[in-house]
A = this chain, B = another copy of it.
Amino acid sequence: MSRLQQLRSWMASRGLQVTIVPSNDCHFDEYVPDMFKVREYLSGFDGSAGTLVVTATEAALWTDSRYFLQAERQLAGSGIVLMKLKMPGTPAIPQWIASCCKAAGADPCSYKVGVDGDLFSYDDFATYRRELAPMPLETFTDPFDQLWEGRPGLGNSPIVLHKEEYAGQSVKEKYAAVAERIGEEGPFALFISFCDEIMWLLNIRGGDIEYNAVALSYCLLTDNGITLFCRRENLTAEAAAYLADQGVEVRPYGEIDGALAALPASTVRIVSNNCCAINKYNLIKGPGVLPDPTVGGTIAMLRACKNAVQAEGFRRAFRQDGVCWVRLLKFIYDNYCSGRLSEYSVTQKLLEIKSASENYRGESFEPIVAWNANAASAHYSFTDEASSARIAGGGFLLMDLGSHYPYGTTDTTRTIFLGGEEPTAGQKEDYTLVLKGMIALAQAIFPEGTRGCQLDILARGPMYRTGKMYFHGTGHGIGQWLCVHESPQIRMEYSPIALQPGMVMSDEPAVYVEGKYGIRTENAVHVVPFTKTECNTFYAFETFTLVPIDTRAVDFSLLNEQEKEWLKAYNTKVYESLKDDLSEEERTWLLTYVK
């Protein structure tokens, strides 16, 4: 029996006519651990975004334009229809389900739709319920332990201590700060589903999701203290001792539901719209349930503003990142003429260089090393030497790389021009306008209350003159040895969150020329005080990144004097900051490169 048929049998046994299977896990994290890749298991489509809908006789998968080609390939022969989001004629999911109901000649009022209530937030659930009506929408709890033979488990990655010397704050201090923001005088309980919020709060780190230092966990923060729900056996002795010392109770992961159900009705229960699943909400609902009082989330806002110890840790991480980059760049320039470099070999080399870096805790995301046209393709990747491109001839090599250190996480993109021929005027213009945008944002001064979307034009504006633009955010928050994409200030153009001192984020304008090349220049910046006057308090950005910017493709006639000075000063600062950590040979190379 096929996987879909197994699901259908189970649906029939439950009296369900339809099931909707989303991509996310029950923690609503950006990346999903293997155990929760149910949509991929059922459909064969392994893109990061897609929703599968299954009826007794039909199945369809909705995904966005990034994945049309891949989905078409992976769904071929499966009987699952590809639904292209935002394309003319594509029905919305509720509309499609209604048409299936009609085609089956069924009574809508008894055409039951079921969802795993741990995978839908209560807002999303309410929207689906409204849009599906009069068809009823029900929740169930994850049935795939039975239906999925060989399903991966929760994982055995150790949960380790994140030392206070890097966190800059004890759990007790964080607890006090959260409780103060919550502001409840009597009994209260804040329910936390986001694993990265829990790691931050408890000064621990895990490894259950690739590139993200998180352990699958839930947390309850109440007026009595903190309870962590996780695989207790994964805790190192050091972490367990620290949590005990900080008064944190640790219970098995599976006990969260019981704990939520046991909250007394007299407790003020606080949940966040974005991350509270409808199943969890149903366990705690009743009078006295309040939304999180802080826009963006109490924990997320506290976590976003790095303290002085953390900021120093980031500076240290970016110095080490800079040294690794210099070694990698030198390797590329030294070996380029051999004609034997490939995207794969460069990636291997960078992993080799980084592995030697003190305290290195792994990459913070899948490294991107893309030559010419490959850099313009949104989801380019390769698995080995053979499937990766040879770096030969001339052109742009785009590298987007990041590392975790216990004291900081890096995320840096550089695009370098290689080859004997000069870059064309068009290549130079594109490279220079991206650089102008990056510099303009990095130099912004702005008053308290300014949101990212109000600064976005600085990074995007120069490119607009050529009728080009990039279709991704200008920046995202960066976690400390956590997730490289950290809320709440993610995606500079839409977030309602005002930029606040201590926030760390990326500044990464880009341009992609289909079939030819992609150019992106990315530095990490840190919000710092600039001045306080009778008018207002003003902030500026400190640039953390210390990686030389290639000037070969710069058209200096497009830079004004001030931009030229910035570029020169930046590359000089890179040299001065890194020189003591480089070998004589590396130092000499860098000096020549930044001259």
- Are A468 and B562 closer than 8 Å at their CB atoms? no
In the complex, whether A13 has a CB less than 8 A from a CB of chain B is: no
One complex includes copies of this chain to the number of 2
Q: How far is the CB of A588 from chain B (nearest CB, A)?
A: 35
Q: Which residue, A455, A464, A468, A530, has most C-beta atoms of chain B within 10 A?
A: A464
Interface residues on A, range: 20 to 34
In the complex, whether A453 has a CB less than 8 A from a CB of chain B is: yes
Q: State which of B454, B531, B562 has its C-beta within 8 Å of the C-beta of A457.
A: B454
Contacts of A468 in B (CB 8 A): 533, 535
Contacts of A530 in B (CB 8 A): 467
- Are A445 and B461 closer than 8 Å at their CB atoms? yes
In the complex, whether A541 has a CB less than 8 A from a CB of chain B is: no
In the complex, whether A560 has a CB less than 8 A from a CB of chain B is: yes
Main secondary structure of the interface of A (DSSP, over half): mixed
Contacts of A458 in B (CB 8 A): 457, 461
In the complex, whether A469 has a CB less than 8 A from a CB of chain B is: yes
> Complex: how many Å from CA A530 to CA B561?
27
In the complex, whether A446 has a CB less than 8 A from a CB of chain B is: yes
Which residues from 430 to 488 on chain A have a C-beta closer than 8 Å to any C-beta of chain B? 444-447, 450, 453-458, 461, 464-465, 467-469
**Closest chain B residue to A493 by CB distance?**
B454
Contact with B along A513-551 (1 / 0, CB 8 A): 000000000000000001111011010000000000000
> Complex: how many Å from CA A244 to CA B450?
52
> Complex: how many Å from CA A535 to CA B512?
10
Contacts of A561 in B (CB 8 A): 560-561
Q: State which of B445, B450, B453 has its C-beta within 8 Å of the C-beta of A454.
A: B453
- Are B444 and A457 closer than 8 Å at their CB atoms? yes
**A457-B455, A464-B447 are known contacts. Are A469 and B562 too (CB-CB below 8 A)?**
no
- Are B465 and A445 closer than 8 Å at their CB atoms? yes
**Closest chain B residue to A561 by CB distance?**
B560
Contacts of A535 in B (CB 8 A): 467-469
> Complex: how many Å from CA A530 to CA B458?
19
Q: How far is the CB of A145 from chain B (nearest CB, A)?
A: 46
- Are A531 and B445 closer than 8 Å at their CB atoms? no
> Complex: how many Å from CA A290 to CA B571?
60
Q: How far is the CB of A566 from chain B (nearest CB, A)?
A: 13
Q: Which residue, A445, A446, A468, has most C-beta atoms of chain B within 10 A?
A: A445
Contacts of A533 in B (CB 8 A): 467-468
Contacts of A465 in B (CB 8 A): 445
> Complex: how many Å from CA A307 to CA B446?
37
Q: How far is the CB of A377 from chain B (nearest CB, A)?
A: 16
Q: How far is the CB of A448 from chain B (nearest CB, A)?
A: 11
- Are B467 and A444 closer than 8 Å at their CB atoms? no
Contacts of A562 in B (CB 8 A): 560
**Closest chain B residue to A514 by CB distance?**
B534
Q: State which of B454, B457, B469, B538 has its C-beta within 8 Å of the C-beta of A536.
A: B469
- Are A469 and B457 closer than 8 Å at their CB atoms? no
Contacts of A446 in B (CB 8 A): 457, 461, 464
Which residues from 247 to 265 on chain A have a C-beta closer than 8 Å to any C-beta of chain B? none
Q: Which residue, A467, A469, A533, has most C-beta atoms of chain B within 10 A?
A: A467
> Complex: how many Å from CA A562 to CA B465?
14
Q: What would 28 A/B residue contacts be, using CB atoms closer than 8 Å?
A: A444-B457, A444-B461, A445-B461, A446-B457, A446-B461, A446-B464, A447-B469, A453-B453, A454-B454, A454-B457, A457-B457, A457-B458, A458-B461, A464-B538, A467-B530, A467-B531, A467-B533, A467-B535, A467-B536, A467-B538, A468-B533, A468-B535, A469-B535, A469-B536, A560-B560, A560-B561, A560-B562, A561-B561
For the complex of A and B, list the 9 residue pairs with the smallest distance between their C-beta atoms, beginning with the closest.
A467-B533, A560-B560, A445-B464, A467-B531, A469-B535, A445-B465, A454-B457, A468-B535, A467-B538
